Structure 1
Amino acid sequence: MTFQPVVPLSGYAGWLFLERTADQQRATFNESPSITRLTDTFRERIGDIRTAEDLVKDRELLEVALGAFGLDDDINNTFFIKKILEEGSIGTDALANKLSDSRYADFSEAFGFGDFDIPRTALSFFADEIIDRYEAKQFEQAVGEQDNDMRLALNLGPALNDVLDGTSTNNGQWYSMMGNEPLRSMFETALGFSSSFAAIDIDQQLEQFQARAEATFGTDQLSDLASPENQEKMIRLFMLRSEISDSSATSGASIALSLLQQI
């Protein structure tokens, strides 16, 4: 039986509770039999995997590999995943680089099947690297089953790190953020954009994201938003604005609006 994370409150108060207890809850969650069975198997067998075809043929390994990047729903799309992995992430024509969701490029880059003669699965630390990501993502998902806002907040730091590691230019980092659906969702809410914002021209979206970040955080550099202080402010804004948009909790929204005006 998998340990279910405890999230007794919603909104920013719930986040503060989760933040205080996350390390202990993660440790307990990671010891769940359903998690350890897969992670032990991954650690034991991934070093023998040398091709994308080898990986997609082993469902248990593929489950951990995809789960580490939040791509669990692609477990049955083996032809698509094989192509993503085989084409790598370096070439501009690689399928992973043509997709709007930047998680596929991160996934392909992490395994290196299409980028190097010897894939990264041969590295001694590779299993632990992917398992750490897998455990974190599965914990996020378990939290999200109770409160999806909490899941998005937990995802902020790791997702920002992936974006910043993937490209060096500020505009490129913003575009990558915009292509990461969970991360983008958090930014849109925290910065006060409406649901129709995604329909406008992509370059205009970039300009507005940067302008709103400058007004809110005093910088339009995405790398600056990765600081602990700015991440905490981002999460607070996200939680409060999300609560305000919840029309079913009028009194809670009133309190959230009052707090938001103080930021």
Structure 2
Amino acid sequence: MTFQPVLPLSGIAGWALLKRTLPAQQAAFAQSPSLRRDEAAFRDRIGQITTADALIADRQVLSVALGAYGLDGDIANKAFLRKVLDEGTLAADALANRLADKAYRSFSATFGFGDFAVPRTVLSDFPDKVLERYRTLRFEAAVGQQNEDFRLALNAERELADLAGRGLGDDAAWFTIMGSPPLRKVFEVALGLPSRFGTLDIDRQLQVFRDKAADRLGITGISDFADRGVTDRLITRFLGQAALAAGPSASTPGAAALQILSGRSA
């Protein structure tokens, strides 16, 4: 039986409880029999997989590979995945570089089928790196089955810490956020951007993101997210705005207080 994350509360209080219990919950989730079977199969077979065709032909191993990048829904799109993997990431016009969702680029670059004469799958530490991501994202997905806002918050913590440490220029970092649907959603909600915002010219979107983040989060650039307190500020604002958008219910703990704070109380 797969361990299910314990999430008795929602909102900021629920997030605080999840963070306190996160190491124990992740450890319990990692012992789930189905997860362990998939990881064992990946570890056993990935070293012999040296082409995109071979990866796509092994559904169990492919499932782990896609799951490590949140791309599980593409498992049946074989021709598309083959093209993403075979074209690699070194050429500017490679498919993975042209897709809005940059998870495909990370997926292709990690396996290296289109970038190197010898793919990364034969490296001794390759299974450990992929499986660490797989466990993390599978846990986040399990959280998301109960509370999608918490899944997005966990993803934002992880991705922003990585992004802040890459040394990218600020424009490139913002475009990376804009090209990641989960990260983009967190910023759009936290900054109070309307649903039609995505229809604006891309350069205009960049300017709005930068200006709103400076005004509401007090940041001067994405490198500021190297400070965990800045990320906490973003997530707290995201969860608060998401709760307001969902609307309080009589059965939700703290609903009356939320109504008063949001100005909705009669």
Q: Same fold (TM over 0.5)?
A: yes
2:50 and 2:260 map into 1 onto residues whose CA distance is: 54
Say if 1:257 and 1:154 are closer, same or farther in 2 by CA, change over 3 A: farther
The secondary structure found in structure 2 opposite 1:145 is helix
- What do residues 54-109 of structure 1 show as CA deviations (whole Å, max 9, x unaligned)? 11111011000000000000011111111101111121110001111111011111
Q: TM-score scaled by structure 1?
A: 0.93
1:146 and 1:41 map into 2 onto residues whose CA distance is: 28
Contact 1:243 1:252 in 2 (8 A): no
The secondary structure found in structure 2 opposite 1:196 is helix
Say if 1:222 and 1:143 are closer, same or farther in 2 by CA, change over 3 A: same
Task: Confirm whether residue 94 of structure 1 aligns to residue 94 of structure 2.
Answer: yes
1:46 and 1:128 map into 2 onto residues whose CA distance is: 11
**Which amino acid in the other structure matches residue 101 of structure 1?**
D
Structure 1 residues without counterparts, runs of 5 or longer: none
2:47 and 2:137 map into 1 onto residues whose CA distance is: 22
Deviation at 1:47, TM superposition (A): 1.1
Deviation at 1:158, TM superposition (A): 2.5
Task: Confirm whether residue 202 of structure 1 aligns to residue 202 of structure 2.
Answer: yes
- Structure 1 residues 142-181: aligned runs within 5 Å: 142-161=142-161, 163=163, 168-181=168-181
Q: Which residue of 1 aligns with 2:261?
A: 258
Q: Which residue of 2 aligns with 1:119?
A: 119
Say if 1:233 and 1:165 are closer, same or farther in 2 by CA, change over 3 A: closer
1:236 and 1:257 map into 2 onto residues whose CA distance is: 18
Contact 1:96 1:105 in 2 (8 A): yes
Q: TM-score scaled by structure 2?
A: 0.92
**Which amino acid in the other structure matches residue 216 of structure 1?**
R
Deviation at 1:195, TM superposition (A): 1.5
Contact 1:240 1:257 in 2 (8 A): no
1:165 and 1:58 map into 2 onto residues whose CA distance is: 34
**Which amino acid in the other structure matches residue 258 of structure 2?**
I
Q: Which residue of 2 aligns with 1:249?
A: 249
Q: Which residue of 2 aligns with 1:104?
A: 104
* Sequence identity percentage: 45
Count of residue pairs the alignment pairs up: 259
Say if 1:257 and 1:149 are closer, same or farther in 2 by CA, change over 3 A: farther
Q: Which residue of 1 aligns with 2:235?
A: 235
- What do residues 123-164 of structure 1 show as CA deviations (whole Å, max 9, x unaligned)? 111101000100111101111000100100110122225545
1:240 and 1:252 map into 2 onto residues whose CA distance is: 12
Q: Which residue of 1 aligns with 2:69?
A: 69
Deviation at 1:15, TM superposition (A): 0.4
Contact 1:190 1:237 in 2 (8 A): yes
Say if 1:257 and 1:189 are closer, same or farther in 2 by CA, change over 3 A: farther
- What do residues 200-231 of structure 1 show as CA deviations (whole Å, max 9, x unaligned)? 11111100100111112332311212421111
2:249 and 2:186 map into 1 onto residues whose CA distance is: 20
The secondary structure found in structure 2 opposite 1:117 is coil
Structure 2 residues without counterparts, runs of 5 or longer: none
**Which amino acid in the other structure matches residue 233 of structure 1?**
R
Say if 1:98 and 1:5 are closer, same or farther in 2 by CA, change over 3 A: same
Q: Which residue of 2 aligns with 1:16?
A: 16
2:10 and 2:188 map into 1 onto residues whose CA distance is: 19
- RMSD over equivalenced CA pairs, Å: 1.9
**Which amino acid in the other structure matches residue 79 of structure 2?**
F
Judge which range, 76-85 or 165-174, deviates more: 165-174
Contact 1:243 1:253 in 2 (8 A): no
1:16 and 1:47 map into 2 onto residues whose CA distance is: 40
2:110 and 2:260 map into 1 onto residues whose CA distance is: 41
Q: Which residue of 2 aligns with 1:221?
A: 221
